[in-house]
Amino acid sequence: MTVPKRTLLVTTPIYYVNDLPHVGHAYTTIAADTLTRARRLARHDVFFLTGTDEHGQNIERIAREKGITEQEHCDRISAAFRALWERYDIRYDRFIRTTEDVHRRGVLKLWERLRSAKAPDGRDAVYLGKYSGWYCPRCEGFKDEEELRQPGNVCPDHERSCEWTEEENFFFRLSAYEGWLRETIEGDRLLIRPESRKNEILGVVKQGLKDFSVSRARVKWGIPVPEQPDHVLYVWVDALSNYVTALGFADDGEAYRRYWAGGDERLHLIGKDIIRFHCLYWPAILEAAGVLPPNREFAQGFITRDGRKLSKTTGNVIDPIALVERLGPDAARYFLLREAPYGADWDFTDSAFVARYNADLANDLGNLVSRALTMAARYGEGKVPARGEPPVARGGTPGGDVDFTETFAASVCAPNDGLAARVLGRYEEIDFSGALTELWSWVGQFNQAIVQVQPWSLAKDPQRRAELDAFLYRLIEGVRLVAVLVAPVMPRASSRIFGMLGLGEREPSPDDLAWGRLAPGAPLGTIAPLFPRVDKTTDQKETPVSETTPPAAATPLTPASAATADRIDIAEFARVELRAAKVIAAEKVSGSKRLVKLQVDLGTESRQLVAGIAESYDPAALVGKTVVVVANLKPANLMGVESNGMVLAAAIDGKAVLCTFDAEVAPGTKVK
């Protein structure tokens, strides 16, 4: 492809280390990794930056609660992020931590510049002022009174009371940058996408921008303000600076000069929750400091579950570890990027994940790769077939109307409008689902071509050998190109397809985008299933990913690591089949004080169980209760009575207390 080589920076937000990584973090990081890989395929020089945001009051509080130092806490959680990125095949160039010395030095350099900077109105860009207002320690930010819920001045995001705060702070004169920001954003010198987010931000500017305070008293865990050592720099100023400090801003380092000061694009991928900080505060701070501002920002949508915000408090979380372990990193990456346009909000469901895996990966792509390669290997004695002449002319038989002539090659690889250019163009627009949809339309056409051309019929006629070879050559070249173009999203599958094509399991390079790189006569590799189908009824691994699982095994997260050593993982737990069961009949087991024989309705069957609860429950009182049973226990014989399952109960002072539900639940419902 002949596009001029550009020098590009791609960043994710740096993530708070308040808690373990969640799926929203994985979503942005996968997007950044995919975009980086796609841009490298288009021959650009790309630097991919991510990291962790480690200062602030929340960290002080959490460390205190855990009885460890702030640094120890940050080290653990930051390591959990890196361990997770490894599982997702994320390949960043730099992982910045705001507790690094090079970051502190960079922030102080920026601060020094801001202290002597003049705003567009000629006044000091930073000034000392008095702040009074409602402060939410969880947001690490001040809230307008109208935003708070009454009574109690409650922060709507964190359901906690805000604190009335009065302090002398340094302020940044954002109000003086209103005109500059409007022009920069309206004129797309800072390109904000999706368009709706650009309009949202312009709306905020229109309402009038307030100066914001950039130092904080009472917070200790941060970078002290040189002029006011009992204050630290506001966590957002500290955090945003990472984008330049990580590149070596403090010492005017090589990466800073190349990818920031001298780069063509400074792109921040962010969430829609932090657009004000990134699209208003950050560009204005840099403009004041005489540093180039970012020139592109893309705000991703939010993932919800059952239409609700992901939240630990309500229990609807999607565990990124369970997600990657369920069907592997490629499938997780593919699903997150394919299921919805990147800028839109969308709802995650386990069933959509499995359905898409089976339909798109096992069926469409997996079948194409295995059918194309099996036929090429079978009819060509394990070697790449001859290129030959156009096999079946348009409209000819038995090829139907599939055009597999040279125009096919041309249309796949045409420099401006071919498949490769279109897919790379979609990636470049940060339209991952568009890139994959485009690619899958080709996967579909290749599959259809196999059915129409019927290579197995051609193979029966020795006269048509050349046509067969030429068709198969084009088919596996097409497969090779799909592998190249899907690599940014699914690097493992791509390299496995390369292996099967006899090219060695490796990452594709920009040269691999050219048509005709398979050498006729070269040996093909070993064919192996790419994405084995998941059968919902027999799948042992059918683990919902919406459960919270223990943290990344590689990273002990509590000081008492021994306490977590014998924990089980979610897959082990998933082997236990818990179901709601309604008691239909109950009677004492004769000769036993403790045992009661139960007949329960399990939705699809009725079962006999024996439970040791007779001393706590009168059998008659049990009838009609809905309890929780372990439904897949091996049968046991208790005092001559067969038991097919176990009823769950707690033991309080030797008395059994049954596990029941606090709302109506149908018999047979799975409990997880």
Among this protein's residues, is 44 annotated catalytic? no
Q: Is 32 in the site for ligand MSP (CB under 6 A)?
A: no
**DSSP tag of 385:** P
Residue 165: which H helix or E strand, with range?
strand 163-172
| Residue 348 dihedral angles phi and psi, to the nearest 5° | -90, 135
CB atoms within 10 A of CB 231: 23
Pairing of strands 670-671, 578-588: antiparallel
For the bound state, the minimum distance from the C-beta of residue 243 to ligand MSP, rounded and expressed in Å, comes to 7
Catalytic residue among 312, 536, 541, 670: 312
Greatest alpha-carbon span in the chain: 95
Helix (H, G, I), strand (E, B) or coil at 288: helix
Q: C-beta of 47: minimal distance to ligand MSP in Å?
A: 16
Residue 169, helix vs strand vs coil: strand
ω into 151 cis (within 30 of 0)? yes
**Stretch of 9-17, 448-456, 577-585, 592-600 contacting ligand MSP, by CB under 6 A:** 9-17
Shortest approach of ligand MSP to residue 441 CB, angstroms?
Answer: 27
Q: Catalytic: which of 5, 158, 210, 655?
A: 158
Closest distance to ligand MSP from the beta carbon of 278 (Å)? 7
Q: Is 210 a catalytic residue?
A: no
659 is catalytic: no
Cβ distance to ligand MSP smaller for residue 55 or 496: 55
CA angle 129, 132, 137 (to 5 degrees): 110
180 binds ligand MSP (CB under 6 A): no
Cβ proximity to ligand MSP: between 346 and 573 the closer is: 346
Q: Under the criterion CB under 6 A, does residue 107 sit at the interface with ligand MSP?
A: no
Cβ closest to ligand MSP, residue 140 vs residue 325: 140
| Residue 304: strand pairing partners | 309, 347
Structure tokens of 564?
Answer: 């977590």
Give residue 302's region: left, alpha or beta (phi > 0; psi -120 to 50).
beta
Does 25 sit near ligand MSP (CB under 6 A)? yes
Binding ligand MSP (rule: CB under 6 A), the pick from 8, 24, 260, 338 is: 24
Minimum distance, C-beta of residue 546 to ligand MSP, in the bound complex (Å): 13
Q: Rule CB under 6 A: which of 215-254 touch ligand MSP?
A: 239-240, 242
Measure the N-to-C terminal CA separation of the chain; round to a whole number of Å.
51
Whats the size of the chain, residue-wise? 672
Pairing assessment for the beta strands 154-155 and 160-161 based on DSSP bridges: antiparallel
95 binds ligand MSP (CB under 6 A): no
Question: What's the burial of 403, exposed, middle or buried (CB within 10 Å: 0-12/13-18/19+)?
Answer: middle
Q: Does 306 bind ligand MSP (CB under 6 A)?
A: no
**Residue 302 or 440: which CB sits closer to ligand MSP?**
302
Report the distance separating Cα 507 and Cα 511, nearest Å.
11
Compose the 258-297 pattern: x for residues touching ligand MSP by CB under 6 A, - for all others: ------------xx-xx-----------------------
Query: Under the criterion CB under 6 A, does residue 13 sit at the interface with ligand MSP?
Result: yes
- Please identify which of the residues 22, 198, 268, 278 carries the catalytic annotation: 22
Annotation says 25 is catalytic: yes
Query: At 172, which amino acid appears?
Result: F
User: Which two structure tokens, joined as six digits, stand for 95?
Assistant: 């992982």
Token readout for 447 is 């599959």
Query: What is the rounded distance in angstroms from the CA atom of residue 248 to the CA atom of residue 257?
Result: 8
Nearer to ligand MSP, 305 or 422 (CB): 305
**Is 27 a binder of ligand MSP (CB under 6 A)?**
yes
- Structure tokens of 372? 């194309």
Burial of 386 from C-beta contacts in 10 A (0-12 / 13-18 / 19+): middle
Least Å distance, CB 272 to ligand MSP, is 7
DSSP secondary-structure letter at 388? Answer: -
Among positions 233, 310, 361, 490, the unique one binding ligand MSP when judged by CB under 6 A: 310
Contact pick of 127, 180, 302, 440 for ligand MSP (by CB under 6 A):
302
Active-site option among 44, 73, 136, 268? 136
Q: Give the residue with the Cβ less far from ligand MSP, 270 or 610.
A: 270
Q: Which member of 16, 47, 260, 498 binds ligand MSP (CB under 6 A)?
A: 16
Reading the block at residue 123, the tokens are: 């006044």
**DSSP at 503:** S
Map residues 49-88 to x or -, x wherever contact with ligand MSP holds by CB under 6 A: ----x-----------------------------------
Nearer to ligand MSP, 348 or 404 (CB): 348
What DSSP designation does 384 have? P
Of the candidate residues 119, 303, 598, 631, the single one contacting ligand MSP (CB under 6 A): 303
Q: What is the DSSP string of 251-286?
A: GT-HHIIIIIIT-SEEEEEEEGGGHHIIIIIHHHHH
Look up 139 and say whether it is catalytic: yes
22 is catalytic: yes
Catalytic (active-site) positions: 22, 25, 136, 139, 155, 158, 309, 312
Residues that bind ligand MSP (CB under 6 A): 13-16, 24-25, 27-28, 53, 239-240, 242, 270-271, 273-274, 300, 302-303, 310
